[in-house]
Structure 1
Amino acid sequence: MGRGTPVVRLLRAAAVPATLVVLVTLSGVVLGRVYAGSLLTMLVAGAAVGSVLVSVVTRRLPSWLVAPVSVLAMLGWTVVCLRVAATGAQVPGGFVEVAGDAAGNAIPRLLTAMIPVEATPDTILLPVVAAWLAGLAGAEVALRAGRVLLGYLPPVLLHAGAVYVVGPNAEPAIGATVAFVVTAALGLAVSARPSDGDPVDGLAPAVRSGVRARLAVASAAGTAVVVALAALLGPAVAALVDTAPVDPRRYVEPPQVETLDENPLIRISGWALNPEQELFQVATERPGGAGPADPAGSTDPAGPPEGAASGGAGVRIRLAVLSDYDGVTWRVGATYRNAGRILPPTEPAPYATVETVRQDITVGDLSGRLLPAVPTPREVSGARVAYDQGTGTLIRPDGLTPGLRYTVTSAEERPDSNLLATADTPAGDAVARVLHVPDGAPEQLRRLATQLAEENGAPYARAAAIEQWLAEHYRLVADAPSGHAYPNLAFFLFGPRNGGGQRGTSEQFAASFAVLGRLAGLPTRVVVGFAAPGSGPVRAADAYAWPEVLFDGLGWVAFDPLPRPDEEPRPVEEDFRPQPEDPPPSEQPEPTLEPTASPPAQAAPGGPTDSGGVSTPVLVGGTGGGLVLVLVAVLVTLGWLRRAQTRARLHRGDPGHRIAGAWRELTDTLRLAGQPVAAGLSATEVAALARRALAAGSASNPGRAPAGPPSAPVTAGLVRTADDSAAAYASVDELARLVNQAGFAPGSATEDQAAAAASAAIVYTGALRATRSRWRRLLWLTHPGPLRWPR
């Protein structure tokens, strides 16, 4: 029998190539859901058409020649795509430089890019190349080998990879996936060859009956297998419908700031000592025609310090936002994501006006990675940046270099100052980070915050009272040493004037305001930036720090607690009531030279200088006394060995080994609590088991609240309080996340993450041990099991 008209044969022959093009293009549609614009989808569609077309045109060539020809065509299409993306995103640099940078960083930047991802050379390179290779492999298998169904495998893998990369960052790709399945089915149906008749025709009747019986049995068996698989896997698949997919970005470390930038607050004193150092040049333009304006304007209760910016009226440029404080140092605590030229917009405060500000900045002696910009940036050209949407700050992952020039267009918010007096401040988990007060705050700070809060009820009145207190009682000097730990702030606020107290740089003023504000119930943070002229050089003398308070409906509002140059400070003792019960610090604490993770250890009492006691020898007589002495010695030895084991696990080796050691501390703790961890459990399952064990211990001993030991280090981002079991539960999840990262991305763990893992293990161990009786806690500390249990 014939196989149809030429038109039918042509359609049947074109069905497979057309199907492959559509399947590969649909993967671009799926991935394009997290991209800004439709450029990526069009580039992937071009790769699909090009790869399949090359295979169709070279079908009669030897198979070994097709791949080189297709790869050459892929390189040409990739060059076109890179040029189009670089032009559209206004990526600086020559094509060779841009292409080399994209080739070397395509994977990490795709997985760390801010969503929506801008189609830049480094974010489109991998999808375009993967789409071309999938089209090439699928076309060769389906067309040359004639295995159509097997030829669908590369597009299927590409589609699955796109779904995985998108993760939970977009709605489920139901439409694209249904279209994928329907297209594949139509392609199979149309490309199927027509049958010339019943395949058993011409056979003997007995043979024909046997063949048909075997076909029937095979069909029934296949149907039974499909039904059984549906019955077994259906509930498990259905249960995953409402489950959020895994985000692959959790396994890739986003761009980080340098150690120099973790706490730029301590750079204030160094800049103050070199006031003429030119950090960068700025030219500010307000497209609305207003020209340069007072940085305070209607935004802040008070503007930057007088004389901070040369050139009169200017603009406040922000460098870093510090939200985390552990009693020793303020830290940036931001998560920066690679971003394109257009930054994702954020909703302005309801009661604020927005003004566009354009800045052309040329870097001079400013070092590090933090990029200065007027808040809040919306568009950046001239430099590849990473952006933290929570704080609206920028970094350049490659670091700042003299001569770097870039342009930032910002949306500057101006809250309605008329509403400040009656505005409230938010509360709850959403702002817990900026309300957190670390343990160990000096009693004098607490009393001062209480005094100012009691005299002023409304949030803005409290903030204004703190601002006024600092401006009226303290002196701004340029030669004060750096430092904003609790002892430094206590000396600044209450130290003797003739001994160096009650004087400091903007570092101490801003840090004191932020801590006093949090003690008074205000959500605060510290900002480091510059009071810059509208146009001209920005020098080290223009750098300063200021505090900000978050108000409902108004957003973050800056305050200026710096004293006025023509006012003489009032003595603190005249207005601080009640008088301090303890004498204020008489010696200035050591200055802060670099960010530290925890306060210095205190000297243990009873050291070599303690001569107040009388030495009494212990006389042990009789067999009973000897046994007691041996037992005590054994327990002390076991306790010492256990502590040495814990220290070795948490504080020795590279960060990956220390994270693994912290995990072993947690699993040993569960085993000691009667909850041994099965070998096949994942980190997430172990974390769930740990939470259940802690909940069960708390329920059986309601009088004992889980809490970590007082000596446990405090790590930024991990809130620990003596009466809040939430910290213990959070520590388990944090540790499981770090273990997963260390396992799936070996060598990516950092020192800070290792310290966080150690802190999490200590918090949870202390919390679970606290739910036991006193004798069980003692036995727990000396149990020999962890010393001999196999790993």
Structure 2
Amino acid sequence: MVTLTPPRPAADAPPGPTTGGPTGRALRAVPVPLALITMIALAGVVLGGVYAGPLLTRLMMGAAAGSVLVSVAARRLPSWLVAPLSVAALTGWTVLSLRLAASHAALPGSLGDVAADAARNAIPRLLTAMIPIEPAPDTVLVPVVAAWLAGLAAAEVALRAGRVLLSYLPPVLLYAGAVYVVGPNAGPAIAPTVVFAAVAAAGLTVPSRRNTPATGDPVAGLAPAVRAAVRLRLLAASAAGVAVVVALAALLAPVVAGQVDDRPVDPRRYVEPPQVESLDENPLIRISGWALNPDQKLLDVRTETGAPEQGGTRIRLAVLSDYDGVTWRVGATYRNAGRILPATEPAAGATTETVRQEITVADLTGRLLPAVPTPREVTGARVAYDPATGTLIRPEGLAPGLRYTVTSVRERPDANLLAMANVPAGDAVARVLRVPDGAPEQLRKLATQLAEENGAPYARAAAIEEFLAGHYRVTADAPSGHAYPNLAFFLFGPRNGGGQRGTSEQFAAAFAVLGRLAGLPTRVVVGFVPRTDGPVRAADAFAWPEVLFERVGWVPFDPMPRPNEEPRPVEEDFRPTPDDPPPSEVPEPTLEPTPTPPAAAAPGRTGGRGGPGTPLLVGGGAGGLVLLVGLVLLALAGLRRNLTRARLERGDPGQRIAGAWRELTDALRLSGRPVGDDLAAAEVAEQARRTLAEARAALAGNSGPVVPNDAADGDAASGSGDEAAGLPGGAVEELAGLLNQVAFAPGTATPDQADRAAALAGRYVSALRAARPRWRRLLWTVRPGPLRWRR
């Protein structure tokens, strides 16, 4: 029996175009490692979006190339040797990366100490660092190691196991982690993501070595029937894979599209930023202790550039913006920062100058780091920074001998803008306008007196500064404390009992509280004012207030007494009046009766040319018209009355006071004297008083000239004009004061003040209506104007 065997190709037959050889296999091995390196490097590009400078991206690119190339070079060695070789190379690259980052960040200390500190704190510091993140050892360690390990795992799976698709898992996870860490702190990574997908697709087009014979054709050498079956199965598997991809895209596309406009989650919110102790949260309480030890050396300062301020260069220790009626606090959120701090635009019109100081710590303790406002670069110490207040801390704490250099940009506001500058309002500055409950009535009355006598914001601040400087003493042994009771005792306590004297703690805190009660956004700053370069002693510790003005910025004030000036008694310039008596019960104003429609003619009376039914028809139509007009007038009167009740009785006290003021301005408009939107409350109150006086004079038949301004001002001061109209003295001025309180100190109005405002507005409206001619009084309550005027 003869057995037939298929002919074999001749040994010397030339290889076909797909047979491949060493060169062909080498060319096929290049795209996959190149794709892996590119994908890992793109993760570095994405993560570099939140870093300052390109150093991190370059280090991650080096880690990607090094890890993959080590696996490529060792692909013919036993697999158990690859990991030790790669880890050794990783150690070398990590040490080089830490050295480059430490040099870039200008960190002091040996490389071993820097590396050990980075290994302990890398992850929390990375997630609490300020954006843009400074490439420092502790912020580059994790990304570099992660990039290397991802490259090692991906290269081994692709080169040894031949699983290209599976090898993409580490780069994909690294890329997704980079996108998650960046979160909303950088723009969308659209271009890197598109390139990432394109590179991954290009790598998949290369056949796997595991499934590719030497000829390059996966079905070469098979019988034709078997070859056709294999190709059919491959085609079916490819079609099924494409169908699965299309189905997943169709299912997931709406979900992904719905997330496009959503703000990404910021992982930084899950990590608590560096915290400080109570002495650093409220360094204001340290002023009195430093005042008792004036010769204690706290710092040593050398100013290398920049001219000193008038009276000495102010070195800021902390900015305190939060006050709860008991204590001032910094209330900062500190973020780990690098050598370069984020810059802010200076105020319009302000001049700036660069100040560079070398500061050496002596006996100063805590974590707060002194610096000239506003710091832009810190070398020699690792710092955390709060951009909202400009306060610096050293998380490890201060130590004697610590030396660091601060470069700051000091602003000098344009003094010509201050006189007419306004103060901001709204949620953005609510923190520095907040007046906690429980403020003593004497403080409120003093603030009101100073605000009423000085209308412009800067004039109010200057008046508070002058009042404190002219009436109080500075003593080093004054007890510490700036709660409401302490400030009340400082301002109004008897001189022979320890009152009316304090340290800069009480002066600054009293200014800030009085300023907020007067509608000024204020804060307290604690720092040092050395007169010359060199040692900074405890006697140089100082607290001062600052006020925020639009287009000018924060402006410091100095409420401290002038040297060699004897303070005046407080009673000379502030005599608190007794509390206002509770308002008497005022009856609700009644509506004026509507005109009674004329009686219809007697049925038997006829006239005209019409028949007997014409008079009846005409009379019925006239009566219906009069009835309709009467119903309309009653409806208008009811709507007006409901509007008044809503304004005076509904809402919180602030809304009720604003409604009472609206009743007054509507009354002026009804009387033909509308007020402009550009007038202040005090100016509207003056116009209201004059309008009432003129209306009463016109009703009495006095058409003579209007009272001159000086006489009117005298009446306003004495209250005679209001009392002549049946109102308590200064009623409209009091209502204007309540409105200013609501506008400049939201949330401080009480229900009693709202009742008082409603009573004052009701009396004024009734008095002004009574001073109108009779026919105008009849139309007062039914005029629809207040219903449609802007509220």
1:275 partnered with 2:291: no
1:530 aligned partner, one-letter code: F
User: How far apart, in 1, do the equivalents of 2:233 and 2:39 lie?
Assistant: 36
- Alpha-carbon deviation of 1:579? 3.0
Q: Is the 8 A contact 1:475 1:569 kept in 2?
A: yes
**Match of residue 127 from structure 1:** 143
Which of 349, 352, 360 aligns to 2:350? It is: 352
User: How far apart, in 2, do the equivalents of 1:705 and 1:23 lie?
Assistant: 60
User: How far apart, in 2, do the equivalents of 1:460 and 1:507 lie?
Assistant: 22
- Alpha-carbon deviation of 1:10? 2.6
Q: Is the 8 A contact 2:383 2:392 kept in 1?
A: yes
2:112 aligned partner, one-letter code: V
Question: Pairwise mapping of residues 95-494 of structure 1 onto structure 2 (< 5 A)?
Answer: 95-192=111-208, 193=212, 196=217, 202=223, 204=225, 221-286=240-305, 291-295=307-311, 314-494=312-492
1:88 partnered with 2:104: yes
Which of 3, 7, 11 aligns to 2:27? It is: 11
**Match of residue 657 from structure 2:** none
2:262 aligned partner, one-letter code: T
1:24 partnered with 2:43: no
User: How far apart, in 2, do the equivalents of 1:91 and 1:504 lie?
Assistant: 42
User: How far apart, in 2, do the equivalents of 1:97 and 1:411 lie?
Assistant: 32
**Match of residue 702 from structure 2:** none
Q: Is the 8 A contact 2:20 2:216 kept in 1?
A: no
SS of 1:315's equivalent in the other structure is: coil
Segments of structure 1 that go 5 or more residues without pairing to the other structure are 296-313, 583-701, 708-718, 725-791
Call closer, same or farther: CA 1:108–1:723 in 2, change over 3 Å. farther
User: How far apart, in 1, do the equivalents of 2:454 and 2:124 lie?
Assistant: 51
Call closer, same or farther: CA 1:204–1:189 in 2, change over 3 Å. closer
User: How far apart, in 1, do the equivalents of 2:561 and 2:107 lie?
Assistant: 44
Q: Is the 8 A contact 1:16 1:191 kept in 2?
A: no
SS of 1:135's equivalent in the other structure is: helix
**Match of residue 625 from structure 1:** none
1:164 aligned partner, one-letter code: Y
- Alpha-carbon deviation of 1:230? 2.8
Question: Pairwise mapping of residues 653-664 of structure 1 onto structure 2 (< 5 A)?
Answer: none
User: How far apart, in 1, do the equivalents of 2:218 and 2:102 lie?
Assistant: 58
Which of 571, 574, 589 aligns to 1:573? It is: 571
Call closer, same or farther: CA 1:388–1:188 in 2, change over 3 Å. same
Higher Cα radius of gyration: 2
User: How far apart, in 2, do the equivalents of 1:30 and 1:423 lie?
Assistant: 44
**Match of residue 516 from structure 2:** 518
1:84 aligned partner, one-letter code: L
Q: Indicate the RMSD between aligned Cα atoms, in angstroms.
A: 2.5
CA offsets per residue over residues 98-118 of structure 1, 9 Å max, x none? 111111111111111111111
2:412 aligned partner, one-letter code: R
1:234 aligned partner, one-letter code: A
User: How far apart, in 1, do the equivalents of 2:247 and 2:352 lie?
Assistant: 61
CA offsets per residue over residues 738-779 of structure 1, 9 Å max, x none? xxxxxxxxxxxxxxxxxxxxxxxxxxxxxxxxxxxxxxxxxx
User: How far apart, in 2, do the equivalents of 1:723 and 1:476 lie?
Assistant: 34
- Alpha-carbon deviation of 1:496? 1.3
**Match of residue 64 from structure 1:** 80
SS of 1:533's equivalent in the other structure is: coil
CA offsets per residue over residues 708-737 of structure 1, 9 Å max, x none? xxxxxxxxxxx995999xxxxxxxxxxxxx
User: How far apart, in 1, do the equivalents of 2:247 and 2:225 lie?
Assistant: 36
User: How far apart, in 1, do the equivalents of 2:471 and 2:240 lie?
Assistant: 89
CA offsets per residue over residues 282-336 of structure 1, 9 Å max, x none? 011225xxx43425xxxxxxxxxxxxxxxxxx31100000000111110001111
Please identify, of 565-574 and 246-255, the stretch whose mean Cα deviation from structure 2 is larger: 565-574
User: How far apart, in 1, do the equivalents of 2:748 and 2:506 lie?
Assistant: 28
2:217 aligned partner, one-letter code: D
Alignment size in residue pairs: 571
1:388 aligned partner, one-letter code: D
User: How far apart, in 1, do the equivalents of 2:459 and 2:749 lie?
Assistant: 31
CA offsets per residue over residues 607-645 of structure 1, 9 Å max, x none? xxxxxxxxxxxxxxxxxxxxxxxxxxxxxxxxxxxxxxx
- Alpha-carbon deviation of 1:706? 13
Q: Is the 8 A contact 2:180 2:266 kept in 1?
A: yes
Q: Is the 8 A contact 2:504 2:542 kept in 1?
A: yes
Question: Pairwise mapping of residues 26-45 of structure 1 onto structure 2 (< 5 A)?
Answer: 26-45=42-61
2:331 aligned partner, one-letter code: G
Q: Is the 8 A contact 2:279 2:285 kept in 1?
A: no
1:559 partnered with 2:578: no
SS of 1:9's equivalent in the other structure is: helix
- Alpha-carbon deviation of 1:427? 1.1
1:539 aligned partner, one-letter code: R
Question: Pairwise mapping of residues 704-715 of structure 1 onto structure 2 (< 5 A)?
Answer: none
2:80 aligned partner, one-letter code: W
User: How far apart, in 2, do the equivalents of 1:235 and 1:38 lie?
Assistant: 36
Q: Report the TM-score, using the length of structure 1 for normalisation.
A: 0.69
SS of 1:422's equivalent in the other structure is: coil
- Alpha-carbon deviation of 1:229? 2.8
User: How far apart, in 2, do the equivalents of 1:705 and 1:553 lie?
Assistant: 33
Q: Is the 8 A contact 1:526 1:546 kept in 2?
A: yes
User: How far apart, in 1, do the equivalents of 2:207 and 2:89 lie?
Assistant: 27
Question: Pairwise mapping of residues 671-750 of structure 1 onto structure 2 (< 5 A)?
Answer: none
- Alpha-carbon deviation of 1:460? 0.4
Q: Is the 8 A contact 1:277 1:539 kept in 2?
A: yes
User: How far apart, in 1, do the equivalents of 2:33 and 2:471 lie?
Assistant: 80
Call closer, same or farther: CA 1:89–1:214 in 2, change over 3 Å. closer
- Alpha-carbon deviation of 1:89? 1.4
SS of 2:314's equivalent in the other structure is: strand
1:504 aligned partner, one-letter code: G
CA offsets per residue over residues 423-452 of structure 1, 9 Å max, x none? 111111111111111111111111111111
User: How far apart, in 1, do the equivalents of 2:196 and 2:246 lie?
Assistant: 23
Q: Is the 8 A contact 2:99 2:111 kept in 1?
A: yes
CA offsets per residue over residues 392-448 of structure 1, 9 Å max, x none? 121000000011111101000110112111111111111111111111111111111
Q: Report the TM-score, using the length of structure 2 for normalisation.
A: 0.69
Q: Is the 8 A contact 1:286 1:292 kept in 2?
A: no
Q: Is the 8 A contact 1:444 1:580 kept in 2?
A: no
User: How far apart, in 2, do the equivalents of 1:255 and 1:555 lie?
Assistant: 28
Call closer, same or farther: CA 1:3–1:348 in 2, change over 3 Å. farther
Call closer, same or farther: CA 1:180–1:120 in 2, change over 3 Å. same
Call closer, same or farther: CA 1:704–1:418 in 2, change over 3 Å. closer
User: How far apart, in 1, do the equivalents of 2:397 and 2:54 lie?
Assistant: 31
CA offsets per residue over residues 13-42 of structure 1, 9 Å max, x none? 111111111111111101001111111111
CA offsets per residue over residues 514-573 of structure 1, 9 Å max, x none? 011111111100000011133111111110100000111111000000011211111111
CA offsets per residue over residues 83-109 of structure 1, 9 Å max, x none? 111112111111111111111111111
The percent of aligned pairs where both chains have the same amino acid is: 74
Question: Pairwise mapping of residues 643-654 of structure 1 onto structure 2 (< 5 A)?
Answer: none
User: How far apart, in 2, do the equivalents of 1:473 and 1:362 lie?
Assistant: 38
User: How far apart, in 2, do the equivalents of 1:723 and 1:465 lie?
Assistant: 24
Q: Is the 8 A contact 1:358 1:408 kept in 2?
A: yes
SS of 1:421's equivalent in the other structure is: coil
- Alpha-carbon deviation of 1:343? 1.1
User: How far apart, in 2, do the equivalents of 1:39 and 1:197 lie?
Assistant: 45
Q: Is the 8 A contact 1:337 1:387 kept in 2?
A: yes
Structure 1's consecutive aligned runs of 4 or more residues displaced over 6 angstroms after TM superposition are: 211-217, 702-707
User: How far apart, in 2, do the equivalents of 1:320 and 1:450 lie?
Assistant: 29
Q: Is the 8 A contact 2:434 2:746 kept in 1?
A: no
